[in-house]
Amino acid sequence: MRPAHLALAALVAAVWGVNFVVIEIGLDHFPPLLFSALRFLVAALPAVFLVGRPTVAWKWILAVGLVLGVAKFGLLFTGMDLGAPAGLSSLVLQVQAVFTALFAFAALGERPGRLKVAGMAVALAGIGVAAADEGGTGSLTGFALVIGAAACWGVSNVLTRKASPPDALNFMVWVSTVPVLPLLALSLLLEGPERDLAALRGLDPAGAGVIVYVAWITTVFGFGAWGWLLRRYPASSVAPFSLLVPVFGMSSAALFLGEGVSPARWGAAALLVGGVALTSFAPGRRTGGNSVADPAPVPVSSSGRALSEERPA
């Protein structure tokens, strides 16, 4: 990769990592489900009028929109609102690579090789260490919801793999149209119209800036740049940069939010990142004469993994 393109890949990872700090700030302005709905509304408009017609069947857009947009981000934002720290969330969410491999095996028959299984075991050990550390100081409920978000991300990765969108940005923009109304309905039901109206009436420049960042910078710029890189370079050259996301997430949370990182959390980070690296980039096994594609980095994601060229929520 050219130096400028290496810098672009690192910039996208930084944007996605810092996104967890921005989410934490946004949760001070909006209830979590309303916040997620606004994120997708602003990501979809006006971009949906600029990217052209959908390039895959609507059934895939609807399926990924519900699993990735409603379930994954609803759980993530709610988990963080309940106390899951931003830096830890950026790290734990990467266990989606393990869930992707498991669901790809169950749904697609993609058998993981021994190295990939070892990576999954190492990553799960990292989750165990992180859970033990969080249980002593933080919210296990919030932690569990972030794990649930990672599982939903894994499902959406498998769905996206089946959809095989030729244009990741087009796909992500159309996917962003799906969660808006379900999330708004859930917010009205669970968070209440009074709380939602109070948040909207109290919208200030900081709140608006948060929405712009999570919608246009993280989603439109992030996925657009990631897809551009993947159209020019092998996914194996681009996807490893996604492992920098928790590095930027934890460091920015420490810098801007004052989140401490205990020795146990550093150990969990080492296990998780190492395990995810093995899970994501270990070669697949051959079954019936056909090479099994690597299911970990898929075309759509929030940290943003690879696309149909490799296999993105």
Q: Is the dihedral of CA 172, 248, 104, 67 positive or negative?
A: negative
pLDDT at 190: 96
Report pLDDT for 137: 66
Helices (H) and strands (E) in the chain, counts: 16, 2
Write down the pLDDT at residue 136.
61
Contact in structure between 21 and 254 (CB atoms under 8 Å): no
Q: Which residues of the chain have pLDDT under 70?
A: 135-138, 235-236, 283-313
298 closest CA partner among 29, 72, 38, 36: 72
- Asked if residues 307 and 298 have their Cβ atoms less than 8 Å apart, the reply is yes
Say whether the peptide bond before residue 193 is cis (omega within 30 degrees of 0).
no
Cα 215 to Cα 237: distance, rounded to the nearest angstrom: 26
pTM, to two decimals: 0.85
Q: How far apart are CA 255 and CA 168, in angstroms?
A: 32
Task: Give me the DSSP letters along 92-128.
Answer: HGGGHHHHHHHHHHHHH-----HHHHHHHHHHHHHHH
- Report the distance separating Cα 42 and Cα 215, nearest Å: 6
**Distance in angstroms (rounded) separating the CA atoms of residues 306 and 165:** 12
Q: What was the pLDDT predicted at 285?
A: 54
At 300 the three-state DSSP class reads coil
pLDDT of residue 201: 96
Residue 83 token pair: 């106390």
The torsion angles phi and psi of 286, rounded to 5 degrees, stand at -90, 135
Per-residue pLDDT tens for 233-272? 876 678 778 888 888 998 999 999 998 877 887 888 888 8
DSSP string covering 139-193 = -HHHHHHHHHHHHHHHHHHHHHHHH--S-HHHHHHHHHHSSHHHHHHHIIIII-H
pLDDT given for residue 2 in this prediction? 86
